[in-house]
Structure formats: structure tokens, C-alpha cells
Structure 1
């Protein structure tokens, strides 16, 4: 018997396609718009996302889009809902449901993600608005004594509660335990923190009876710290990422959709390509290895657009090119 959650999860990691993360909160998109001297108001935010969603051929490379709550309810300039714009192009709409990371009581240098209160009711509304999947992000940083087991456990519990509630509402949860790349740490520190975070996450998902075939994982790649003196090359990133996943990610998970996490467009593409090339020769890599990029797909077209209507076509062409290159990397066929 067909299972809609399983079918949606598999569709989101269809060969050659991945997810556009367009779920920036109001403060985040304000910072992005500040770089092009554009006011962050509802109309400008709508115009920017409409530019992306109406790019010709978007469905060739993009399987789904993570929306901010505001966007889920917005209409395009032609009167259609933005959700309808996406679905007409074969793209699955989803929504970010967490309310952001706040200081963790008892360990204030660390964060815990909030947003579980009232979620069951909100999920019903999102489903009625056309969403078919959801996303929740936990934020984990690396320092001399961090992450603590306490931080990992409370965030894993919240991720699992979110996932169980999403599946109850008929929505595929994307669980995102992000280990930040900020810092000077060696890649081994990221590997250790990522492995611990994933172990805690999948233990909590098991306790809360989450159907893993109806989920996706949105992980960080295993990387050197952003400020590390000697950063590991793509081949080592690929090897370490796949080693950690083989130790932690159950084979029943349909796919991993990597976050770009502050990498440059080129770095995120090169690393995704290396991971897929390495996975092609690995018997332990049973999951689809795709992408869920925000800045990695939007940064170049945003700078081309600059908030000017006359630049829409050029910005869409820049977005199409970034999506095409990222799709190639998702297949291990990127040539820089």
C-alpha cells in the first residue's frame, strides 16, 4: 500500500534535484537585502521570492522549496498563490516551523530551538495552505567544552517532537541538527560533534516512534572550521562525512539534503560533488545525497537583481545557472 509520507520524502530527493531553502526569517532577509540597499518590506520579500519561483525550468533542478510562514500565505503578482506557482512547476512546497534558537537554560553559551507550543494547530493550517513538508533547525556549536551532551539531548528531543507532530499532520519532517562551521577547529572536531549530534537525534526519533522512511535529514557537511589555518580539501570532507553518516544515519532514511552553512557558492558545490563521487563507490552510502541550499543558490542572483525590476531576467538566469551547477554536483558531475 502506498504511503504519502514515503512518496513525498522520495520525491524531494529525486535524482538530480534538491531543495531551495527560501525560509529566511525577517531579521535574516533584512540583512540580505541590506547588502543590496533594499528595504525589507512584505512587497519586496514577495517580489524576490516570486523571481526565484517563476524562473523557467526551476522544476528541472529544484524538487521542493522551504518557505517562511509569511510566504506560504502570499500571492504572486498575477493573483495566484506562491504555493500554486510552485506546484504548477512540479515543485513541492514546505515550511519552516521552528521559532528560532534561544539561550539554553543551564548552559547559556549553547542554544535550544523553540516553537513546539501550539505546533499541532499551526501544522493543520500549513497543510491547508498547501505545505507538504516541514523543517526544524537545531543549532550546535563547537568550542573546547562544547557541544555538551545536555545540549545535544534537549535539541534531539525537540527535533523528535517536531517530527512526530509533523507526521501526525501528514507532513514530511526535515530534521536539521546543524553543527556550525564557525571557529578554528580541525575537521576531526566537526566529525566528533556531528557524530554525537546524529546519534542523539536518531535515538530520540526512535523513542518517539517517528517513521524514518517518511523523513529527511538536513545535515552539515563534516568540515574544518571556517577560520582554521589548514582547511581540509573536498576529498577529505567527502570521506569524513560519509564515514560519520555510515556510523549514525539509518539506511531507512531516504535522503540527506545538505545545508550550505556559510560555505561559498563554489565550496558548497565542490564539496557536494566530492561527496556524491565518493558515495558512488561506497556500499554503505544507501541514502540519496542531495542539497537544501539557501545562500548557495540565492547569493549571486540577489546581487544581480539589486531590487530593480529591469534586472529580473538577468537574476533569474543567474539563479538557473546556480541551480544547474548544484544539480550537477548532486549527481557527482560538476566540473568547476
Structure 2
């Protein structure tokens, strides 16, 4: 059985003021697309070198408190032959692991999807813990249209998220619950409010049914945004207002931290929107970030797979981490984008 004190210690490490998470858990096809965009082959060696570059960035632990890894990365080593989870720990960054096994079409629900990976999860978590992982992440996705997501998708994904969270806590691993309302499409911000509220209500009902301890989990939601194809994109203060209001309606105060995904926003947009939310206060939970592309895009463009560019790439990563740290305090200034 799990040790509540151990879960609490992990939660406290993941909710330190001014720090957030680096999501480096891209699946094989996703990282291949990212690498292809800058002309890098997605070989195991290049993936190892990239994730070693990220985790060995000097001073990264000042702004990043946790890293979500892909299963392959747990077993890889840095250029200095140090296990990557151990390298993260030495940087005072808690290693975590993506445990879902991707999404498939949901039967009898055209256009909706369900996430797989519950079978054998307890056994896998035991192995991940031995490799150094202290928290886990499971992503569910929800498509928006006039009809989507359907009721079945909202309920089925909520139940899977809750079962995953319960299994994690039983194994002594802190679960990050990630219900992502996708920004694909041309829906309005009002439609996104409606869907996000329904999704989060159902998720927390399911968490309660499965006896998940809210104090020993984190929520990783999407921000409330108009669809990427919508003609009218809201400014940061409107996104912040709609997102915080939706969270207040749905997320119990017992949840210690909310770490947003960036979900297709540019690095600058993701930082500005987080900053605008943290200017609204006081709030019952700590609002921070768990960004993948919004942290990795600038350093990846600087690296291009070349050893000579490692230092420049690490500086680019540190800058984005530092700017998002400022956003956690509501202290981000777009003028900082030009300087260090």
C-alpha cells in the first residue's frame, strides 16, 4: 500500500512556488514530427541526446521542479553515462512517467476517442518506481464541435482517468490527471467554456467515486480558448478570466496544484496566458505550467541535432523556463522576450 507521507512529499516538490513541469514525454511519432521540423532524424541516439541536453541544462532546477518522461527515456543515460532519472534528481527535478498508451476511436461514438493503458498498469508502475519515477501522467482528449464530445466520451474518459489515478495512488505514485479539450476546430471560446466545464465536472465526480485523494494529485487541464480556426481569438486577460471562472466552478480547493498544458499555443502565448491567470487572485490552488512544445520549441530550433549548438539550446530552454516562472507569480513582461 502507498505511504501518504511519501505522496505528500512528492506533491510538495511538484508545487513549489515559481516552478513548473517540463513535459518531455512525446511518443515516437510525435517526437519524429518535432525533429523533422528542424531536419533531425528520430533515431534512438538523437532522442537520447536531446533529452540529455534538456535535463543537463545548468540551473534548470531553479525553475523546473518535475519532468514527465517517456518510457524509453527512463532507461537512457546522459552523455556522462548517468541514468537520466538520476540526472533529473540531481538537478532537484522530480522524475515522472507518461503511463497511458495512446488513444483510439471510442466504439459507438463517432468522432470521439478513448485512452488505453489500464491493463497491467499496477505492475508497470512498480517497475517505473524502481527506475526512479515518483509521479505519472495520463492524457484524455476531447474533440469539440457542435455535437462533440458526446456524453459517452465524457463519462468513459473520466472513469479511465479516475481508475488510473486510484491505481497510481495505491502504488505510491502521484497521478497527474490530464483532460485535454483540444483547440482544433473553429469553435468559439464560449463553446470551449461549456465543454471544459462538463468535462471537469465529470472528471471530479469520477475521482470521488474511485476514492482518489485530491490532496495527492495534480490536474493538468487545457486553457479555455477559441478553436485555432476561429476568426476571433481572445486576448490573454479574457482567456484568463474564462479559464479561472471555469476552474472555480469545477475544481475542488483540495487539489493542491493545476499545471496547464500548452496545447498548440506558441511559447509566448502560453506564458502570457498563464501570467494573466496568476494576476487574478486569490485562488485556492497554485497555478503553474506543464509545457512540452512551449518549452522545447525554441531550444530544439537552436540545437538542430548539432553538438556545437548544445549550449545555445540550453540557454533557450532556460530562458523559457525563467519566463514561465515569472508568469507563475504574475510578473511576466513581454519585453522580457527580448532579453535574458
TM band (smaller chain):
over 0.9
Other-structure match for 2:226: 224
Q: What does 1:148-167 correspond to in 2, within 5 Å?
A: 148-167=150-169
**Post-superposition offset of 1:252:** 0.4
| Structure 2 counterpart of 1:57, from 56, 59, 62 | 59
Other-structure match for 2:292: 294
What is the rounded CA distance, in whole Å, between the counterparts of 1:316 and 1:75 in structure 2?
18
What is the rounded CA distance, in whole Å, between the counterparts of 2:269 and 2:38 in structure 1?
23
C-alpha distance after superposition, 1:188-210 (max 9, x if no partner): 11111101000010000000000
What is the rounded CA distance, in whole Å, between the counterparts of 1:38 and 1:235 in structure 2?
37
Q: CA RMSD in A?
A: 1.0
| Structure 2 counterpart of 1:183, from 182, 185, 193 | 185
| Structure 2 counterpart of 1:140, from 142, 147, 150 | 142
What is the rounded CA distance, in whole Å, between the counterparts of 1:247 and 1:8 in structure 2?
27
Other-structure match for 1:257: 259
Structure 1 length-normalised TM: 0.97
Q: What does 1:200-215 correspond to in 2, within 5 Å?
A: 200-215=202-217
Q: Gaps (5+ residues) in structure 1?
A: none
Other-structure match for 2:34: 32
Q: Structure 1 residues 173, 2: CA separation in 2 closer, same or farther (over 3 Å shift)? A: closer
C-alpha distance after superposition, 1:94-130 (max 9, x if no partner): 0000000110001131100000011111000001100
What is the rounded CA distance, in whole Å, between the counterparts of 1:331 and 1:138 in structure 2?
28
Partner SS state of residue 108, structure 1:
coil
| Structure 1 counterpart of 2:112, from 110, 113, 116 | 110
Other-structure match for 1:332: 330
| Structure 2 counterpart of 1:67, from 62, 66, 69 | 69
What is the rounded CA distance, in whole Å, between the counterparts of 1:226 and 1:3 in structure 2?
42
C-alpha distance after superposition, 1:136-192 (max 9, x if no partner): 000001001011111010000000110000001100000000000111111111111
- 1:238 counterpart = 2:236: no
What is the rounded CA distance, in whole Å, between the counterparts of 2:36 and 2:308 in structure 1?
19
What is the rounded CA distance, in whole Å, between the counterparts of 1:184 and 1:151 in structure 2?
20
Partner SS state of residue 93, structure 1:
strand
Q: Gaps (5+ residues) in structure 2?
A: 335-340
Structure 2 length-normalised TM: 0.96
Other-structure match for 1:127: 129
**Post-superposition offset of 1:2:** 6.6
Other-structure match for 1:174: 176
What is the rounded CA distance, in whole Å, between the counterparts of 1:28 and 1:229 in structure 2?
28
Partner SS state of residue 112, structure 2:
strand
What is the rounded CA distance, in whole Å, between the counterparts of 2:4 and 2:196 in structure 1?
33
What is the rounded CA distance, in whole Å, between the counterparts of 2:158 and 2:5 in structure 1?
25
Other-structure match for 2:17: 15
Deviates more, 1:2-11 or 1:62-71: 2-11
Runs of 4+ in 1 over 4 A off after TM superposition: none
